[in-house]
Amino acid sequence: MVLMCSLFMISSEGEKADAFTNQVIQHGATGEDVIELQSRLQYIGYYNGDIDGVFGWGTYWALRNFQYEFGLPIDGLAGAETKEKLAKASKYNKEFVKKQIEKGNNFSHYGGTDLEKQKGSADGGGGKGTSQTKPAPKPTPSKPTAVNTPNGFSQNDIQLMANAVYGESRGEPYEGQVAVAAVILNRIDSSAFPNTAAGVIFEPGAFTAVADGQIWLTPNEKAKEAVLDAINGWDPSSSALYYFNPATATSKWIWSRPQIKKIGKHIFCS
């Protein structure tokens, strides 16, 4: 896949803003709109609290962070512009979320986790409003997991980066997949880019996989392993901030970037 350098809006394949009602959602609000707001924010890694339909301070700060990363007015209000941007950047499975809340199940609305793995009943007396207090079932020990991942990355961060790696480079050699993950991490560490995984990946115009919807494909274990290897210090890109496929790149600007190396079909640049 190609790292796009020209700015464009996120693909129209994303959901329409009319997924919400027309009300401006603000702190203190309750109800279906707030559940959708929390679910969408959680889907792209901004909100880690309970999906309970109560617009508390956790939802407020998650919304402000989303607005900051996406270049919106930072007011903590979910008005028309914010809802439109959020609807394009995320997905919302209303039926799934509603059923899990009604059952009192532990689940995550994050898109990188298979829904069937999120439906376990709550343990230890957990009920409604405790949807995020327990993790999804752990994979077998032989497979990589985000538990105990260094540098403060959450499981949502790992899943989202795995989605990006899979969408951008699943046909590349493993080293090239790690290099793509490293580019995301290098951007997070750079003052020139957003400082969160979601902010980097969903920055308008940044990744082809976001524009064409392949970001929502379910990543395989190799993509997750590549992310964990990058987080643990392997950077085959040699500190690159960009990459592109010379066979498909349409941006003249990317050719002006100092080239570091080529791995598979991708050229990595500073």
Residue-wise pLDDT for 25-47, tens only, equals 988 888 899 999 999 998 888 88
236 — pLDDT class (breaks 50, 70, 90): very high
* Residue pLDDT, tens place only, 156-189: 788 899 999 999 999 999 999 999 999 999 999 9
Percent of the chain with pLDDT over 90: 33
Nearest to 269 by CA among 169, 209, 179, 178: 179
105/116 Cα distance (integer angstroms): 12
Instruction: Give Cβ neighbours of residue 191 (< 8 Å, ≥ 6 apart).
Output: none
213/198 Cα distance (integer angstroms): 15
Which segments within 165-212 are labelled E, that is strand? none
267/207 Cα distance (integer angstroms): 15
Nearest to 80 by CA among 10, 13, 21: 21
Handedness of CA 76, 79, 84, 90 (dihedral sign): positive
pLDDT over 50 (residue 12): no
pLDDT over 70 (residue 11): no
pLDDT over 90 (residue 99): no
239 — pLDDT class (breaks 50, 70, 90): very high
* Residue pLDDT, tens place only, 109-123: 766 555 665 554 333
- Token duo for residue 105: 């199940």
